[in-house]
Amino acid sequence: MASEPVARAVAEEVARWGGMKQTGVSLRYMMEFGARPTERNLLLSAQFLHKELPIRIARRALDLDSLPFGLSRKPAVLKVRDWYLDSFRDIRYFPEVRNRDDEHAFTQMIKMIRVRHTNVVPTMALGVQQLKKDLGGTKAFPAGIDEIHQFLDRFYMSRIGIRMLIGQHVALHDPDPEPGVIGLISTRLSPMLVARQASEDARAICMREYGSTPDVNIYGDPDFTFPYVTPHLHLMMFELVKNSLRAVQERFMDSDKHAPPIRIIVADGAEDVTIKISDEGGGIPRSGLPRIFTYLYSTAEHPPDLDGHNEGVTMAGYGYGLPISRLYARYFGGDLQIISMEGYGTDAYLHLSRLGDSEEPLP
């Protein structure tokens, strides 16, 4: 436990750094800079992160301390705040990065920070569950509760940015990268291939949970590629296909009818690459559509406990799959739209911006 003067000094330092302006980096710059991962470029990257990460982490720590309705005092949220404070201290107290040895040590340290923050999303979900229980459920939500949703959108978008910066720097150390891969960025990503891999992963979860799983049919040009971040697209596709599989499986598991397949269509447009995921899982009532992108109406009953004990991915998850996926799409200027036909099924449209020419600073 830190002594009171030390804790006060850290709090003052967090407030000072949290008031600084963060620096956005465009994807085009990341690609051009990362295409030459020389010792000098890796040193420059580490020096940039040494100054940039404390600003971003401090802002989130300050936000976590000022949430409405007592959310900041929930044990799960306090745990997340402590992770951010620990990471802030680790980076601020790391000496100046001057040479290759410093850069290697710094890289190992930020890898540990990324691991420390792995369970931020489910732990925050537990904090929201704790708040909902205190408030008496969703029907008893007071006015102004949307402020929490807006905070979580900002918080998770910032988390994507921090993990992208750390992940890109760490990945540039790969001594034998795949052809066309620059850090986390694949310059020739095949959306058909990622859709197939994500679908197989989601079908494996469905098979484990229900004992059977609908088919997934994928349509598009197998030779088409474009620049994108493979882990981001896999995450979004996995969540969307998982939702569709669950809806179809639960609608047809007691039926004599054969469960209809999920259909994925990949379209190469001039402005966007669009992926449509269609199912016949019965759709969503129109009154429920405004809630599907919020964090406050999750149907998950058993988020992991505070010690991180988790029995793996389930079909229901935390109810955060759609809002988090939309943030990943929007991070690079894309979007996610859901169109539902109650009594029939749902279409999810994943719009992905072409990244190669983007000079817009990322969040």
What pTM was estimated for this model as a whole? 0.92
Judgement on whether residues 171 and 207 belong to the same structural domain of the protein:
no
Instruction: Give strand pairing partners of 163.
Output: none
**Domain presence at residue 71:** yes
49-94 per-position pLDDT tens digit: 999 999 999 999 999 999 999 999 999 999 999 999 999 999 999 9
Q: Which pLDDT score is estimated for 300?
A: 53
The CATH number of whichever domain residue 130 belongs to comes to 1.20.140.20
The CATH number of whichever domain residue 214 belongs to comes to 3.30.565.10
How many domains does the chain contain in total? Answer: 2
Rounded-to-integer distance, Cα 101 and Cα 44, Å: 13
145-165 per-position pLDDT tens digit: 888 989 999 999 999 999 999
pLDDT of the chain along its 363 residues, tens only?
A: 455 676 788 889 999 999 999 998 888 889 989 999 999 999 999 999 999 999 999 999 999 999 999 999 999 999 999 999 999 999 999 999 999 999 999 999 999 999 999 999 999 999 988 888 888 776 667 777 888 989 999 999 999 999 999 999 999 999 999 999 999 999 999 999 999 999 999 999 999 999 999 999 999 999 999 999 999 999 999 999 999 999 999 999 988 889 999 999 999 999 999 999 999 999 999 998 988 998 887 655 555 554 444 445 566 566 788 999 999 999 999 999 999 999 999 999 999 998 665 677 888
Judgement on whether residues 149 and 220 belong to the same structural domain of the protein:
no
Rounded-to-integer distance, Cα 195 and Cα 77, Å: 34
Rounded-to-integer distance, Cα 15 and Cα 64, Å: 13
Domain closes at, from 178, 195, 217: 178
Judgement on whether residues 123 and 193 belong to the same structural domain of the protein:
no
Judgement on whether residues 284 and 197 belong to the same structural domain of the protein:
yes
* Helix H or strand E segment including 31: helix 27-34
Residue-range definition of the domain harbouring residue 156: 4-178
